[in-house]
Every structure is written in C-alpha cells, then in structure tokens.
C-alpha cells in the first residue's frame, strides 16, 4: 500500500504563500491554509490556476496526483499533524514574532517550521526558543526553483531533502546576513536603477530592455562569475579581474547612495511603468511571465544548465504509471508552447511526443545513453502519423508503445497517443534501423538488446494488429 500523502501548512495566503501552496499541492502534498483574510481562498485559487497551467508544462512526465487543499479559521487546526509549516505573513518583525509564538505552541514536534522572509535573520525570528529556519523563495514559487535556507544546520538539511523532492533548489547560506544572498544583489540593481531613472538617463522600459536583451539572458544559464570567466577569454577569471578590477575605483555607480523617495519619484516611475505595460492586465502579465519561464527552463533542461539541471533531476523521480497492457512510454501534460494559431496541439509536436516515447522505449531495452556512448544506436527512417482528435494546452496524455517487429536491424514501433478522455488522439508508426555510430552504417544490435527485443516482441504479438498500422497517406479510414 502507498503511504499517506504528506501535508503542509501555509500561514499567510498572499502571492508567496499561494505560490508555496501551489508548489506543495501540485507535487502531491495536502495543503492546509490559515489566513484571516476573507479573500484568501479566491487569491490562492488564482495562483493555483496559474500553476496548473504552467508547472506541468515544464515536465515530460506527469506530476503526482494533486493533493487536497483546505482552509482553516483556527491556526491550531491548520497545523494539526502537518510535516511542513511555511510562514509567509507581512515583513514586519512584530507580526512574525506574534505568529511564530502561536506556531511554536501548536506545531507538531517533527514538523519543519520555515519563514519566507526576504530580509530577517533566524536570530531575529527565534527570540523565544523557537526552531524557525528561513526558507526564502522567489516569485513565482511554483516555477522558480531557488530557495535560500538559513538557520540550524540539521533543520536546514532536513528541509533541503523535502525541497529537492518538490523540484526546488535549496541554497544553504553559510552565514546569517540581512536579506540573504539573492535579494542583496537585487537591491543593488534596484538602487542603481532608481538613480538612472531619477536622473533621466533612461525610462523603466529602457532599463528593463538593458536587462532582458543582454546580461539577463546570460545570467539565466551561468550567473555572474561564470559569465565573467568567459569574458576573460582563454586566460579566464584572473585576466578578467586584471582587466576590469581597476574599474571598481571609478565612479560608475551610486551603489551606496539612495535617491530620496519622494512623491515625484513615485509618480515618475509609476507613469513610466504604466506606459510600458499598462495595456496588459496583471493576469496577462503573469501568463506571459510563466510561459516565457517555461520556455527558457525547458531549453535549459536540454543542456543541463542552471535551473534546467534541477528540473531534469526532479523529472527523473517522476515515475511512469504502471500498465497491465502495453507499456506506457510517455505520461505528461501538453505545454502551451505546443499549441498553434488554431488553439490546439500543432502537428509537429505529435511527432515530438512520439519521439519521446521512442526514447523511453530505448531506455527500456537498454539502448539508452550508455549504449549510444558505446557507439551504437537506432535511427528513425520512416514515420506515419494519423491525427484523430484535437489536443489542447494542459491536456494530460499518455502514450502506449507496441512492438510490431523487433528482429535483426529493424525495429518497428506503433505509438498510440491517448487523450484525457481515454480516446486515441493520434497514432505514430515508426520504423528504425540499428546503426554503428563509428561507421555510420546499419549493423546488428548487441546480443543483449536483441534478446530483450525478442522477448517484448513475442509478448506484444499476443495483441491484435493496431488499427492504422501499415496505412498509406490518403487511405480512407475504416468504419
């Protein structure tokens, strides 16, 4: 029997609390929310809608079944029996002290207690013997993997294991410091940006363009120091420091000086921000942000860079569902990027989905990365796709794979793409040839691969020939 799902208490249901609720919920945890705001349920539901739309699109396997969410009027009820407690109340120390005292009274002894604070240190939070650590995430919490952990090493180590299982990247902060690591960097850029706008050097849009058209793209994959290592050329970081180190003494920045926060500065920045993106609603901006993040993170996953490496590691823990019939080789949600101007899944991505199924089948028979590294692989030489029903963004699909022939150099597969209602949405018939990667010519597979294929082909021979196998283009469908 499977163990009962774990549960998390979310204390404070704003943007960050809602993001935490979504991250836990969509990874199979039950979530218990405490927030006296009568609008808390509506606000969190909005965040959940965004998360359900975007988080599954990151993965080529389905996330666990969604947990249950409940809302509680009493803090003690919300904390009952939970494994993780995440406090995300406003950034005021008096409010945090009050809620932490109540949490400490009712929290299960084994529960991890974490604060989302972006600035306070654990020593400032734990004034009365509490056991709170800092687990500072980044918005949107359901997509961005980074969580800065600060506090008791043993508690942080336990928290790190949980966060890894949620597909997040826990970063241990070595020493307590105000605003931790990432927000200190953001604050430095923010201060300099305020000066540039106040002094009329640029507008909010022009400053944002400088980031997203340039170094922001570099930072997404490499960060600051690795980017500068490359800038140093073949001599690396040492040459870069020798070349640009003296610039630290030049008056390039007003880093330690803060512009006076006046109404005129607020009006200037607000008016420019309205001109920049006021034509889009906040919901439209959230969707745009999430779609762009999904696209970039999926690209980074292919190269195992930055957040993509964390995503790939988490995906490997998501098991394909068991089947009593033909093997399930793909189980995933349709990402928004797979749809086209007709509002449904584009024809090219049916083949991409089938290609993922073929890759998974290669893993099943032992012809995965190690086999390729040894100099052998299968090449696709022919495909035939039938489009039977529409699929849309967010639809959950799975693919079954039947071996029609698995003897000698040829491998003949038939993939059935099953839509959310259980009907076959498309079929992809694939013919592959075994290749020697050194000679780039066809060759017999290894004895181990041949034996596995023979066993699977014999088992699949018990199934009827699938409808559509052996068809040619334009052939009328059978009734």
Query: Is residue 229 in some structural domain?
Result: yes
Check residue 153 and give its pLDDT.
Answer: 95
- Render pLDDT for 202-253 as a digit per residue (tens, 0 to 9): 999 999 999 988 989 888 888 888 888 888 888 888 888 888 777 777 777 7
Shared domain check, 254 and 382:
no
- In this structure, the answer to whether residues 163 and 191 fall within a common structural domain is no
pLDDT per position as a tens digit, 132-161: 999 999 999 999 999 999 999 999 999 999
* Residue 474 belongs to a domain: no
User: Which residues does the annotation place in the binding site for NAD(+)?
Assistant: 12-17
Is residue 176 domain-shared with residue 198, that is, in the same domain?
no
Q: What is the C-alpha separation between 453 and 279, in angstroms, rounded?
A: 57
Considering the domain architecture, whether residues 251 and 119 belong to the same structural domain is answered as: no
**Residue at 115 is within a domain:** yes
Q: Do the domain assignments include residue 322?
A: no
Q: Which of 279, 304, 320 is the last residue of a domain?
A: 279
> Distance between CA atoms of 155 and 176, rounded to whole angstroms?
15
What are the strands of the beta sheet with 69-72, ordered from one edge? 69-72, 30-34, 7-11, 84-87, 112-115, 132-136, 146-150, 169-172
The pTM for the full model equals: 0.86
CA atoms within 13 A on the CB side of 86: 29
In whole angstroms, give the CA distance from residue 187 to residue 255. 9
Distance CA 15, CA 39 (A): 12
Count Cβ atoms below 10 Å from residue 373 Cβ, excluding itself. 10
User: What residue ranges of the chain have pLDDT lower than 50?
Assistant: 1
Range(s) of the domain holding residue 63:
7-180
List binding-site positions. Answer: 12-17
Is 307 a member of any domain? no
Give the pLDDT confidence score for residue 1 in this predicted structure.
41
What is the per-residue pLDDT for 410?
95
In a domain, 130, yes or no: yes
* CA nearest neighbour of 179 among 169, 168, 191, 167: 191
Residue 471 lies in a domain: no
Residues 60 and 107 in one domain: yes
**Buried b / exposed e along 411-423 (16+ C-beta atoms within 10 A):** bbbbbbbbbeeee
170 and 42: one domain? yes
Look-up: residue for tokens 């960050």? 16
Cα separation of 161 and 168, whole Å? 10
* Residues 197, 130 share a domain: no
CATH of the domain at 66: 3.40.50.720
Position 475 in a domain: no
Output the 3-class SS for the chain.
CCCCCCEEEEECCCHHHHHHHHHHHCCCCEEEEECCCCCHHHHHHHHHHHHHHHHHHHCCECCCCCCCEEEECCHHHHHCCCCEEEECCCCCHHHHHHHHHHHHHHCCCCCEEEECCCCCCHHHHCCCCCCEEEEECCCCCCCCCEEEEECCHHHHHHHHHHHHHCCCEEEECCCCCCCCCHHHHHHHHHHHHHHHHHCCCCCHHHHHHHHHHHHHHHHHHHHHHHHHHHHCHHHHHHHHHHHHHHHHHCCCCCCCCCCCCCHHHHHHHHHHHHHHHCCCCHHHHHHHHHHHHHHHHHHHHHHCCCHHHHHHHHHCCCCCCCCCCCCEEEEEECCHHHECCCCCECHHHHHHHHHHHHHHHHHHHCCCHHHHHCCEEEEEEEEEEEECCCCCCCCEEEEEEEEEEEECCEEEEEEEEECCCCCEEEEEEEEEEEEECCCCEECCCCHHHHHHHHHHHHHHCCCCCCCCCCCCCCCCCCC
**Does residue 337 share a domain with residue 249?**
no
Domain boundary among 180, 215, 246: 180
Q: Indicate if 171 and 251 belong to the same structural domain.
A: no
- The structural domain count of the chain equals 3
CATH of the domain at 451: 3.10.129.10
Rg (CA), the chain: 27
Same domain, 155 and 205: no
- Among the candidates 138, 165, 180, a domain finishes at 180
Tokens of 205: 């849009």
What CATH code is carried by the domain that includes residue 203?
1.10.1040.10
Match 């650590």 to its residue by tokens: 133
Q: Do residues 100 and 222 both lie within one domain? A: no
154 shares a domain with 19: yes
């Amino acid at each position: 029997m499977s163990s009962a799902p774990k549960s998390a208490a979310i204390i404070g249901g704003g943007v960050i609390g809602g993001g935490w609720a979504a991250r836990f919920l969509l990874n199979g945890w039950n979530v218990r929310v405490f927030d006296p705001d009568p609008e808390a349920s509506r606000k969190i539901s909005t965040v959940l809608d965004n998360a359900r739309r975007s988080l599954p699109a990151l993965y080529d396997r389905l996330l666990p079944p969604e947990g249950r969410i409940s809302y509680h009027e009493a803090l003690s009820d919300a904390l009952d029996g939970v494994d993780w407690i995440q406090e995300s109340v406003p950034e005021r120390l008096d409010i945090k002290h009050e809620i932490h005292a109540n949490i400490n009274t009712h929290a299960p002894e084994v529960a991890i207690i974490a604060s989302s604070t972006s600035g306070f240190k654990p020593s400032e939070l734990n004034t009365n013997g509490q056991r709170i650590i800092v687990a500072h995430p980044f918005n949107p919490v359901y997509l961005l993997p980074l969580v800065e952990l600060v506090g008791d090493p043993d508690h942080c180590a336990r928290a790190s294991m949980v966060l890894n299982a949620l597909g997040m990247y826990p970063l241990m902060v070595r020493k307590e410091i105000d605003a931790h690591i990432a927000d200190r960097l953001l604050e430095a850029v923010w201060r300099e940006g305020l000066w540039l706008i106040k002094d009329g050097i640029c507008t909010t849009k022009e400053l944002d363009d400088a980031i997203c058209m340039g170094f922001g793209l570099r930072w997404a994959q490499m960060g600051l120091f690795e980017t500068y290592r490359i800038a140093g050329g073949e001599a690396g970081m040492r040459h870069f420091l020798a070349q640009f180190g003296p610039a630290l003494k030049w008056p390039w920045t007003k880093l330690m000086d803060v512009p006076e926060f006046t109404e005129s500065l607020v009006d200037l920045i607000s008016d420019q921000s309205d001109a920049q993106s006021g034509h889009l609603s906040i919901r439209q901006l959230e969707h745009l942000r999430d779609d762009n993040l999904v696209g970039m993170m999926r690209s980074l996953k292919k190269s195992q860079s930055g957040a993509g490496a964390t995503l790939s590691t988490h995906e490997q823990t998501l098991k394909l569902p068991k089947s009593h019939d033909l093997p399930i080789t793909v189980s995933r949600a349709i990402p928004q990027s797979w749809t086209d101007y007709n509002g449904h899944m584009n024809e090219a991505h049916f083949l991409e989905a089938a290609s993922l199924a073929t890759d998974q089948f290669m893993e099943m028979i032992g012809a995965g990365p190690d086999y390729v590294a040894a100099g052998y692989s299968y090449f696709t030489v022919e495909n035939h796709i039938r489009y039977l029903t529409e699929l849309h963004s967010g639809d959950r699909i799975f693919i079954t794979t039947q071996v029609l022939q698995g003897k000698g150099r040829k491998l003949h597969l038939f993939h059935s793409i099953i839509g959310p209602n259980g009907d076959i949405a498309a079929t992809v018939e694939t013919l592959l040839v075994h290749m020697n990667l050194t000679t780039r010519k066809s060759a017999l597979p290894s004895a181990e691969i041949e034996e596995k294929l023979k066993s699977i082909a014999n088992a699949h021979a018990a199934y009827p020939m699938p409808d559509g196998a052996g068809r040619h283009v334009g052939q009328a469908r059978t009734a």
